[in-house]
Structure 1
Amino acid sequence: MFLLLLLCMWGLLLQGDAQDRASLWRGNDRSGRCQYTFSVPSPVEASCPQSGGPEVEALKARLSLLEVLVSRLTGGDATTGPQGSRPRAQPDLQEALNRAVGERNLLQGEKQRLERELEGLQHRMEEMRRETERLRNRPCPPQTPMVPPSPPLQDGGLMRPSGGSGSLSHLMNRPNRQGDSSSLRDSAWQYGPPGFQELKAEVTEVPAPDGSEDNTGCGDLVSVAEPVTHRKADNIAGKYGVWMQDPEGVSPYGSSMVWRIDTVGSEVRQLFGYDDMEQLSKGFPSKVLLLPDPVEGTGATMYRGSLYYQRRRSRTLIRYDLSSESIAARRELPHAGFHGQFPYSWGGYTDIDLSVDEQGLWAVYSTSKAKGAIVISQLDPHSLEVKKSWETNIRKNSVANSFIICGRLYTVASYTATDTTINYMYDTTTSQGKAVAIPFKNKYRYNSMIDYSPVQRKLLAWDNFHIVSYDLRLGRQQAN
């Protein structure tokens, strides 16, 4: 044992020099954990082939720790990689910034919208101010005393509105560009809104016809009775429409045949035929024809065995022969507005309105040259050529509808008011127009078609899904 102890002591003495150069190092590794390192110089190798050593590794570990601390102090992510990636912004701050930017954009959009609304309101206020100023500067019509009643008419003693008395005395004759003359020169009628015209109408109470008088004359329209309902349309396609009879029916269809077109839809082609009014009321058509070209508006009419209508999206007029079921004539109505350029006030692409009376086939429309005023043209029923035209001084879009009786055009003031008036008449024989005030009722408050039927000597109308008719009374034709 003693010998073994001496050997150990001898070894320690021999290696004392090496022990003096041994070192112990303690530090954190790359993951941050404490690590002890003991180093002893090599007795054989003078230097290590690799570069660096524990001091370098310790320095790297300390640098990593320093980067972690710096990242925490600057608000970045504490878990940076060993290569020291750049700190990223705090998520909550970034979210708050994004929220603020979004709210700012919303506020800017709302501000722009409010500015546009303010400009619109200012524009409307300016228009109202100008309209108020115009109405204030306009002189009031003179108040004239009551005039003696005119002599009674031959067919029942009803009074006919006088064109030169009361509030209508300011309407004077003047020639137009075509050499015609018209009594309508009030600027309110030419440029005022439709509602203003309706308020200006002078209502005259006229008894309804009782049917006992002879009603075969062709004078001025005196009165229109209450509407009579014949049928209600079955579906939405019948909200607007047109129905008619041929005053000079041709075989195989007679004048008692009733025709109907539902005009709601982009491709209106179906023409329904009924043997008589009773079958129409029951809804039993005896004939259904498919037209070759679609119909535009509610201005179609029947005459001498043909259907006359306006082709969709055009100013082209078509004569469709019922017996051969084919197009017999096709012609453009010169310069006529179409597809919403000059419709009646209710719209419905009613730019061209065709009608028939005792004198033949007529077209009511307007042109750019007429600046929206109603133009009346008499057409050749065979070729559709314009035979003669008259230009009135009343705007087409200021009236709800119109019809022609005995060569006289009559306009209706409103299509929605239950109690409205027939407010204007233009006589193509004398080329003169005048304001009238004949009571008229829109029973269902949306009248989209009004035409005169020489067969029944009634007004036919299409009022909000309902097919209705009106009895009327005409004055005797006065001798020149």
Structure 2
Amino acid sequence: MKPVLLLLVSTAWTFTGAQHYYQGLMDYLENRLLAIEDRMQFWHEQSHRYHTELQDFKKLTAETMAGLRSEHGTLSKDLEGAAAQVDRVEREMDYVEIQTSPRACANKADRVVEQEAWGQRESRGEEEDGWEELHSEVSDCVEIISGIRSVKILKRVGSPKGTWTRDPRSSKVYIFNGTSGDIIYQFNSVLDFSRSPGVTGSRQIRLPFDWRGAGSAVYNDYLYYIKQEDEIDLQVVKYDLLGGSVTDVAMFPVESRATVYSLNPETVADLAVDGEGLWLLYATSDSEPNINLAKMDPDTLDIEQIWDTGCPRENAEASFVVCGTVYVVYNTRLASRSRVQCVFDVNDVVISEEAPLLYFPRRYGAHASLKYNPEETQLYGWDDGYQIVYRLTMKRKLLV
């Protein structure tokens, strides 16, 4: 009887302990579920709050963007109006500058020349006081630029800097893309170039030596370009475009590697062509403040005469020669309107202080090159990759 009692007591105790264990486990699980539910409720509240804030932000962003678009449209209209006003003012300035340009070298004798009365007085043996007859020793041309008649932006091809020019003795056009290389592109005419996509359709000419800078020139089916391999040897190369060979090379010693224009340091020297022949603009050294001019024989490349133009290299971007008169074009490092600010005449007929003012209409940046064509009285300009044609108006030098 006693063992049975002990067995019953032991079973009852075991059952009671198991019941307490399972009850504790259930309580634990219930508490964990309640904690998870609380956490989920918290996450739901946070998500709802974030969603509300996001909606408010999207609404505010949409309103702000709408306001910005409205302000951008208004600003665009204001800028278009300002650009139109600037263009109108520049046209008016160009007109006023042309109309009020100072007369070059005017004195009492000028009126006699303009009235075509000088020949009559000379035949009578009369001579007016103050007249000193000047004989042209270098240039026989009697014209000076009086203004820019029109501007035509032909197209945009190639690098920001380069050269394009037309042979005065033919209709062929030559493209020098960049400031160095050994390939140039030839078109039969300006029209062919304007119609071409890029330089497609051109004749590619590979040169035996690289050209340097934007100072090349073409004259009578010959290419004249600058070759410089070290700091002191400046070479002018004459290349036969029809025969495909170098016909002459002239050495032009300089003291150090100098550039003729401070705004275009790639151009170590500039070759120019006018009705009088071939000219070279250069600087002997970096310490030389002014641009020098040399008259060259286009056949032999001999130097015939040299001048100090007195035109500063500082802020110069390009130059060109017309009838033995050098026109140096200046700008600023922050590109603005290009202007002829210094003029040098090899015959001392025209001087800077009395030459007509000449401003170029503002376009893109600064000219990398300006090449004059005496047959057309036009300038071929390269401005930030754009090829531009300036048609010039001319007048007679007053003392010629």
Q: Same fold (TM over 0.5)?
A: yes
CA distance in 1, matches of 2:349, 2:250: 26
Partner residue, 1:272:
185
Partner residue, 1:240:
161
Give the direction of change, closer, same or farther, for the CA distance of 1:449–1:360 in structure 2 (3 Å limit). same
Partner residue, 2:315:
398
Q: Give the secondary-structure state (helix, strand or coil) at the position aligned to 1:279.
A: helix
CA positional deviation for 1:225: 3.8
Q: Is the 8 A contact 1:223 1:474 kept in 2?
A: yes
Q: Is the 8 A contact 2:349 2:399 kept in 1?
A: no
Higher Cα radius of gyration: 1
The reply on whether 1:324 has 2:243 as its aligned counterpart is yes
Q: Is the 8 A contact 2:331 2:366 kept in 1?
A: no
Give 1:261's match in structure 2, choosing from 176, 179, 183: 176
Partner residue, 1:304:
220
Give 1:349's match in structure 2, choosing from 258, 261, 266: 266
CA distance in 2, matches of 1:454, 1:285: 27
Partner residue, 1:421:
339
Q: Is the 8 A contact 1:370 1:391 kept in 2?
A: no
Partner residue, 2:69:
none
Query: Cα deviation per residue 1:108-132 (whole Å; 9 max; x = unaligned)?
Result: xxxxxxxxxxxxxxxxxxxxxxxxx
CA distance in 2, matches of 1:418, 1:306: 35
What's the TM-score once normalised by structure 1's chain length? 0.50
Matches within 5 A, 1:46-57: none
What's the TM-score once normalised by structure 2's chain length? 0.60
Q: Is the 8 A contact 2:143 2:395 kept in 1?
A: yes
Query: Cα deviation per residue 1:128-169 (whole Å; 9 max; x = unaligned)?
Result: xxxxxxxxxxxxxxxxxxxxxxxxxxxxx955424689xxxx
Amino acid at match of 2:173: V
The reply on whether 1:362 has 2:275 as its aligned counterpart is no
Q: Is the 8 A contact 1:413 1:422 kept in 2?
A: yes
- Which of the pair has the greater relative contact order for Cα pairs under 8 Å at 6+ separation? 2
CA positional deviation for 1:352: 0.6
Give the direction of change, closer, same or farther, for the CA distance of 1:297–1:442 in structure 2 (3 Å limit). farther
The reply on whether 1:290 has 2:206 as its aligned counterpart is yes
The reply on whether 1:219 has 2:143 as its aligned counterpart is yes
Give the direction of change, closer, same or farther, for the CA distance of 1:432–1:392 in structure 2 (3 Å limit). farther
CA distance in 1, matches of 2:285, 2:202: 42
Q: Give the secondary-structure state (helix, strand or coil) at the position aligned to 2:193.
A: helix
Q: Give the secondary-structure state (helix, strand or coil) at the position aligned to 1:441.
A: coil
CA positional deviation for 1:438: 1.6
Q: Is the 8 A contact 2:182 2:209 kept in 1?
A: yes
Would you tell me which structure has more strand in proportion to its own residues? 2
The reply on whether 1:445 has 2:365 as its aligned counterpart is yes
User: Where does structure 1 lack aligned partners over 5 or more consecutive residues?
Assistant: 1-156, 166-216, 249-254
CA positional deviation for 1:394: 2.2
Q: Is the 8 A contact 2:259 2:265 kept in 1?
A: no
User: Where does structure 2 lack aligned partners over 5 or more consecutive residues?
Assistant: 1-97, 107-140
Query: Cα deviation per residue 1:96-118 (whole Å; 9 max; x = unaligned)?
Result: xxxxxxxxxxxxxxxxxxxxxxx
Give the direction of change, closer, same or farther, for the CA distance of 1:337–1:402 in structure 2 (3 Å limit). farther
Spell out structure 1 runs of 4+ moving beyond 6 A. none
Query: Cα deviation per residue 1:159-189 (whole Å; 9 max; x = unaligned)?
Result: 5424689xxxxxxxxxxxxxxxxxxxxxxxx
Partner residue, 2:51:
none
Q: Give the secondary-structure state (helix, strand or coil) at the position aligned to 1:281.
A: helix
CA positional deviation for 1:456: 2.1
Amino acid at match of 2:239: Y
CA positional deviation for 1:337: 5.4
CA distance in 2, matches of 1:362, 1:369: 21
CA distance in 2, matches of 1:402, 1:390: 15
CA positional deviation for 1:474: 1.2
CA positional deviation for 1:451: 1.6
CA distance in 2, matches of 1:269, 1:433: 38
CA distance in 2, matches of 1:334, 1:296: 16
CA positional deviation for 1:331: 0.9
Query: Cα deviation per residue 1:58-115 (whole Å; 9 max; x = unaligned)?
Result: xxxxxxxxxxxxxxxxxxxxxxxxxxxxxxxxxxxxxxxxxxxxxxxxxxxxxxxxxx
CA distance in 1, matches of 2:283, 2:189: 35
Partner residue, 1:433:
351
Size of the aligned set, in residue pairs, is 260
Partner residue, 1:116:
none
Give the direction of change, closer, same or farther, for the CA distance of 1:337–1:430 in structure 2 (3 Å limit). farther
Q: Is the 8 A contact 2:216 2:270 kept in 1?
A: yes
RMSD (Å), alpha carbons: 2.5
Would you tell me which structure has more helix in proportion to its own residues? 2
Q: Give the secondary-structure state (helix, strand or coil) at the position aligned to 2:375.
A: coil
Give the direction of change, closer, same or farther, for the CA distance of 1:384–1:473 in structure 2 (3 Å limit). same
Q: Is the 8 A contact 2:269 2:281 kept in 1?
A: yes
Give the direction of change, closer, same or farther, for the CA distance of 1:264–1:365 in structure 2 (3 Å limit). closer
Give the direction of change, closer, same or farther, for the CA distance of 1:380–1:290 in structure 2 (3 Å limit). same
CA positional deviation for 1:277: 0.9
CA distance in 1, matches of 2:349, 2:267: 24
Give the direction of change, closer, same or farther, for the CA distance of 1:324–1:426 in structure 2 (3 Å limit). same
Amino acid at match of 1:275: N
